[in-house]
């Protein structure tokens, strides 16, 4: 226990709150924590508080709201009540500020990539030019080709007219059809056949994207604002904070994780997208609820609307 010469955690919180001109009711409304718990915390009546794991979370949230060192005050509170020092909490990486300039290595890499693309384009352009010149030298002279076609037309004109066989309209249309049309007709089936293959490929990519899951099987969703804390088997805090209506949290792995919340009716737990029955009455505390899917199904029936 702290000596009388030292200021307790509750006194620090109360003095800071009064300097900020805020009432205890305002703090309770912002944190979604019962006012009676905050009052007991400020007065040092720790026997009226929930277990240390919950109360330390209250201290952390209260201190953060007032702009104090939440981690230091939470540890000081544990020392006051005789709790053991807990392993430092997990800290998730913060997003990099958008205004930060890219590093020198990134600039050099980007410039090298641009130069590679540019020189590759020049090489490809040079190869295409040489290929065009070679192809042009292999084309037959146009006059010789025209002479051959003219000879074929003359043979067709000198054929006997009275042979007694009429030329079918379809055959004539096929003969007089431009060669470009026949080539387009021959190409069309290939293009049509390629479409299903493309669709199959796109469908496979879409399915693969849908199958990628970023979260776990269990999701904690807030219907109303509520303070939520997640701890592991050793009572080490994995995550804590206030969930706003519609916000949710889903761990990648639920092994040995347990849920604590200050308002059972404000939080809904879902397994594989199916919500479970309510956790409790409005304002009721939930302590040590296992987040293992099998245990959740065994302890609570699925809610059917």
| Successive 10-residue mean pLDDT values, the chain, 305 residues | 65 93 93 93 91 92 93 92 51 51 79 88 70 48 56 52 42 40 42 41 40 64 91 88 90 80 90 87 88 78 42
Q: Of 302, 228, 287, 295, whose CA–CA distance to 255 is shortest?
A: 295
- Cα separation, 263 vs 107, in Å, equals 51
CATH node for 9-80: 1.10.260.40
Q: Are strands 248-249 and 274-275 parallel, antiparallel or unpaired?
A: unpaired
Report the pLDDT value the prediction gives residue 165, as an integer from 0 to 100. Answer: 43
Reported pTM: 0.34
Report the pLDDT value the prediction gives residue 258, as an integer from 0 to 100. Answer: 87
Domain boundaries, the chain: 9-80, 218-299
Report the pLDDT value the prediction gives residue 181, as an integer from 0 to 100. Answer: 47
Token pair of 64 as six digits: 């953060």
Q: What are φ and ψ of residue 232, in 5° steps?
A: -95, -170
Whole-angstrom CA distances from 299 to 159, 261, 292 are 97, 18, 11
Q: Of 253, 241, 254, whose CA–CA distance to 290 is shortest?
A: 254
Question: Residue for token digits 């990486």?
Answer: 93
Whole-angstrom CA distances from 275 to 136, 221, 222, 230 are 72, 9, 12, 19
* Burial class of 147 by CB neighbour count within 10 A (0 to 12, 13 to 18, 19+): exposed
222 neighbors 267 (Cβ within 8 angstroms):
yes
Which DSSP symbol is given to 81?
T
Report the pLDDT value the prediction gives residue 60, as an integer from 0 to 100. Answer: 93
Report the pLDDT value the prediction gives residue 171, as an integer from 0 to 100. Answer: 37
């Amino acid at each position: 226990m702290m000596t009388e010469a030292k200021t307790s955690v509750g006194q620090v919180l109360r003095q800071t709150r009064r300097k900020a001109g805020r009432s205890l009711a305002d703090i309770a409304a912002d944190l979604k924590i019962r006012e009676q718990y905050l009052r007991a915390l400020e007065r040092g009546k720790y026997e009226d508080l929930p277990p240390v794991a919950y109360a330390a979370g209250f201290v952390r949230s209260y201190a953060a709201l007032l702009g104090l060192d939440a981690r230091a005050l939470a540890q000081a509170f544990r020392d006051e009540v005789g709790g053991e020092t807990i392993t430092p909490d997990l800290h998730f990486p913060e997003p990099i500020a958008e205004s930060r300039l890219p590093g020198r290595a990134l600039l050099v890499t980007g410039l090298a990539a641009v130069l590679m693309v540019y020189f590759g384009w020049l090489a490809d352009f040079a190869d295409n030019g040489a290929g065009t010149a070679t192809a042009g030298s292999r084309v037959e002279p146009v006059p010789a080709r025209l002479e051959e076609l003219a000879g074929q037309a003359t043979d067709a004109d000198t054929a006997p007219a009275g042979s007694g066989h009429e030329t079918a309209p379809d055959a004539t249309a096929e003969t007089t059809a431009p060669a470009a049309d026949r080539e387009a007709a021959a190409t069309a089936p290939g293009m049509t056949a390629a479409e299903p293959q493309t669709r199959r490929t796109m469908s496979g990519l879409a399915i693969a994207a849908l199958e990628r899951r970023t979260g776990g099987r269990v999701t904690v969703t807030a219907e109303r604002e509520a303070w939520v804390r997640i701890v592991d088997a050793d009572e080490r805090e994995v995550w804590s904070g206030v969930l706003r209506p519609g916000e949710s949290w889903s761990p990648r792995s639920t092994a040995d994780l347990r849920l604590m919340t200050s308002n059972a009716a404000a939080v809904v737990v879902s397994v594989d997208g199916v919500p479970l029955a309510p956790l409790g009455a409005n304002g009721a505390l939930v302590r040590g609820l296992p987040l293992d899917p099998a245990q959740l199904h065994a302890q609570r029936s699925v809610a059917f609307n």
